[in-house]
Chains A and B, each alone.
Chain A
């Protein structure tokens, strides 16, 4: 098969793999920009993935599944908020606690409700999943020369969540840098005392940031269980929440660089999947072990050399005590 087709298919896979990462990273972006460390990303996503699959399996509607996923994400975010904002608990511990609770609770609930061990039933019906949106002329374009396949695979042929995630990047940037809410949000993460003295409630803003994070994690979880897969299995996020957090740090807590970081991670992942057993131009067939380690090697290299200094929001991780 010619190189062109391979590259297009690789990029299409990159987009699919990057979607949940990007959604989670944006979720973390809002929360961390407001000064709350979001180690609960993994847990919120996993909980949402379970809720989406469970509700979709029972009701037969992927939209109700998405709603349940968002509700779950928000509820878990509120738990974190209650612990770290209202009660000024340690943010790292609260986030980890939520993740650990969900990774045990989701399979337990699945076992109790469906009796299939920590899984939900397979979603076999098309209405229970987000399937690829029909784009005009995508099938016809596939057979056409040069830009045809790119149109069919890269632009068209994804499910709605992928487009939503893509649209959320400029939207987040706009909210963060061009709205009053965004300005206040960033200020709360840098210098909450200044925000307070301006007469704006710090904790209220942080709660709102966590709510946004919950909603986005909900969408990310729904993508995992009802778009990329057809059902929930135990620990199906396999560390994507932490990877998203790493992407967020690579992206220096900015939406567009975070998008690139997510795409890079996804690209190495997709490339690793495709390079196994393929003879490369210079190196010949590379051992599988090396290829599987490649994303991590690249991460270390990038972190060590290319990213430069990543300065977190100043008040990140510091609980805020209202001045009386």
Chain B
């Protein structure tokens, strides 16, 4: 009599297990990070924080993949789709072609693409109007600079980073037309996102040419920029995540891009059934981008600067200031 009981028990257990699996399989969010890794303290980390927040608030686990070379993109996304992911958030403009391809093969899977646009019925494309926040950072840089020279270090030389640079330059000129902007790009390959030595070298060269505030839009390369600025006693401006805490007292502010909110909302909407395909543009008005002000840079932003920045922010939201878009 013992054996049938065991068999029965095993059967019950396996059925229960299958049920549990089925329930879990109902909703499976996934996120694919870009080069630089999820702890780049910048762009990807912001996405990670959004996914973590979702997990904490809903208790739903998510799958993830960190891209370490370009060949993995399509494979990773297709693999997640094949394993039954409900919604896949692909972080970064370089995922666009992979998402386009996989989205066609898996029409029932929802794809949210950040920083690029793919026009398919099951793809939601989220783009940010970064130029609005970099405009404010440019203003802050111009107002804080004593040498009337400020720097910009971009990561990979791509239209997105040119967009950052353009907004920054316009902000600088808006605050003080006499301030000169020195611009550098780190490289033309994805390795440009994770080369802090080169970032530090570029920052040192800009400091050598007289810059005293340097804005980086370079992922993990930016940690080198910020370190070099701190070592030289100059100011830096962080990017994507709020990076004010990285070098307290030496980071003037950060151009925050709420990738975390985008990821969180994509997961949440997909779960609630309100997820919609199409293009979403997030700017200052939608709280998609902003400049960071917290206890770490409180002492660097004077009340006069804060007033001007807040005013400019309101003007951009109301449309009184038009920040050009990079074409």
Q: List residues of chain A with CB under 8 Å of any chain B CB.
A: 1, 5-6, 9, 13, 16-17, 107, 116-119, 122, 131, 224, 228-231, 233-236, 238-239, 269-270, 273-274, 276-277, 288-289, 292-293
Kindly report which residue of chain A lies nearest to residue B221, judged by CB atoms: A233
Interface bracket on B: 20 to 34
Is there an interface contact between A273 and B197, defined as CB atoms closer than 8 Å?
no
A16-B201, A233-B194 in contact; A289/B188 too (CB < 8 A)?
Answer: yes
B61-74 interface mask toward A, CB cutoff 8 Å, 1 = contact, 0 = none?
00000001000000
Kindly report which residue of chain B lies nearest to residue A116, judged by CB atoms: B39
Kindly report which residue of chain A lies nearest to residue B203, judged by CB atoms: A273
Determine the distance from Cα of A229 to Cα of B228 in the docked complex, in whole angstroms.
Answer: 8
Question: What are the residues of chain B within 8 A of A119 when measuring CB–CB?
Answer: 37, 39, 220
Determine the distance from Cα of A292 to Cα of B189 in the docked complex, in whole angstroms.
Answer: 10
Is there an interface contact between B184 and A277, defined as CB atoms closer than 8 Å?
yes
B179-204 interface mask toward A, CB cutoff 8 Å, 1 = contact, 0 = none?
00011110110010011111011101
Interface assignment of B38: CB less than 8 Å from any CB of chain A: yes
Contact of A230 among B68, B209, B227 (CB under 8 A): B227
Interface assignment of B303: CB less than 8 Å from any CB of chain A: no
Question: What are the residues of chain B within 8 A of A1 when measuring CB–CB?
Answer: 209-210
A228-B197, A231-B223 in contact; A288/B205 too (CB < 8 A)?
Answer: no
A1, A231, A239, A288, most chain B CB atoms within 10 A: A288
Determine the distance from Cα of A270 to Cα of B187 in the docked complex, in whole angstroms.
Answer: 13
Question: What are the residues of chain A within 8 A of B157 when measuring CB–CB?
Answer: 288-289, 292
Question: What are the residues of chain B within 8 A of A288 when measuring CB–CB?
Answer: 157, 185
Is there an interface contact between B246 and A117, defined as CB atoms closer than 8 Å?
no
5 interchain pairs, CB-CB under 8 A: A6-B209, A117-B37, A131-B231, A233-B220, A288-B185
Give the total number of A-B pairs whose CB atoms are below 8 A apart: 88
B294 to chain A, nearest CB (A): 18
Question: What are the residues of chain A within 8 A of B194 when measuring CB–CB?
Answer: 233-236, 238
Question: What are the residues of chain A within 8 A of B202 when measuring CB–CB?
Answer: 273
Beyond the given pairs A119-B39, A273-B198, A276-B185, 15 more chain A to chain B contacts, judged by CB atoms under 8 angstroms and listed by A's residue number, are A1-B210, A9-B209, A13-B204, A13-B205, A16-B201, A16-B204, A117-B40, A119-B220, A122-B223, A229-B197, A230-B223, A230-B227, A234-B37, A238-B194, A273-B184
A118-B39, A234-B194 in contact; A292/B205 too (CB < 8 A)?
Answer: no
Kindly report which residue of chain A lies nearest to residue B66, judged by CB atoms: A117
Interface assignment of B273: CB less than 8 Å from any CB of chain A: no
Question: What are the residues of chain A within 8 A of B210 when measuring CB–CB?
Answer: 1
Identify the 10 closest CB pairs spanning chains A and B, nearest first: A117-B39, A9-B208, A274-B205, A276-B184, A230-B227, A229-B196, A273-B202, A228-B197, A277-B183, A117-B37
A298 to chain B, nearest CB (A): 16
Question: What are the residues of chain A within 8 A of B201 when measuring CB–CB?
Answer: 13, 16-17, 269-270, 273
Is there an interface contact between B38 and A117, defined as CB atoms closer than 8 Å?
yes
